[in-house]
Amino acid sequence: MKKLLGLVMGLAISGSAAAADPRALVTDVIGNTIPEIFAFDEIDAGTTIVLDESAELRLTFYPTCEDITVRGGEVAIFDTHMTIEGDGELLEYIEGECPTAVKLTESDIINAAVISRAQNAQKDPEISPRPVIGVGGADSQRFHTIIVTGGRGLRIEMPIVLRKGIWPADAEPLQHGKKYGIAIVGDDIKPRVAKVIASSDAPELLVLRH
């Protein structure tokens, strides 16, 4: 349900989730911020982001799975709520959908067998049949390709552009309930790999953590 909130100083946006980091996902940034942040950065509790007067920040707040867009001011992220202070203006606050987040592990080899054995912090995290895949983390700029593999020789390669990959329009969707391997690769860094399961109910956005 869409929430209508007044544009007031110190506006609190609250959730009921238990304390855990990270607490928010940046989905878009326009203009300058301190510290400098980018799309698909995940924000920990205790972080304050200062925006230029005309800068805009769009993020998904994990405790409520709501999409929030702010212009200017300061945005402070806490365990169960966030605040907008100073000259900050709340532009949008709507019900959204939290992405699936997958923790990747290092690997020396990229093939379906190795990826299928990759250990993951989550048990069979779900991936949309036609996902949008964001790459987070400090080394994101060092990776250039996302690879999805499966049985019968399936291998889908997606270039990473602006820290995300888009499912190719000419590629068949993944099959609901089937397991797949996923990896990100670069020229001067070890690949990162994980295993996922396709689900028609999964969020379109998948965020890869490394």
CATH classification of 100-209, choosing from 2.60.40, 1.10.3470, 1.10.357, 2.30.30? 2.60.40
Parallel/antiparallel/unpaired status of strands 11-14 and 33-34: unpaired
- Please give the chain's pLDDT, 210 residues, in tens: 233 333 344 555 555 544 457 999 999 999 999 999 999 999 999 999 999 999 999 999 999 999 999 999 999 999 999 999 999 999 999 988 899 999 898 886 666 444 544 454 446 799 999 999 999 987 888 999 999 999 788 999 999 999 999 999 999 999 999 999 999 999 888 899 999 999 999 999 999 998
- The span from the CA of 157 to the CA of 150, in Å, is 12
171 Cβ contact partners less than 8 Å away, ≥ 6 residues apart = 156
DSSP structure string for 59-71: EEETTTTEEEEEE
Q: How many residues does the chain have?
A: 210
Radius of gyration for the chain, computed over Cα atoms and rounded to the nearest angstrom: 18
What's residue 12's pLDDT?
Answer: 58
By the 10 Å C-beta count (0-12 exposed, 13-18 middle, 19+ buried), 166 is classed as middle
Q: What is the pTM of this model?
A: 0.82
Handedness of CA 21, 199, 185, 168 (dihedral sign): negative
Whether 196 and 124 have beta carbons less than 8 Å apart is answered as: yes
Whether 196 and 102 have beta carbons less than 8 Å apart is answered as: yes
**Any idea where the domains of the chain sit in the sequence?**
11-95, 100-209
Helices (H) and strands (E) in the chain, counts: 1, 18
- The span from the CA of 91 to the CA of 87, in Å, is 12
Parallel/antiparallel/unpaired status of strands 132-135 and 205-209: parallel
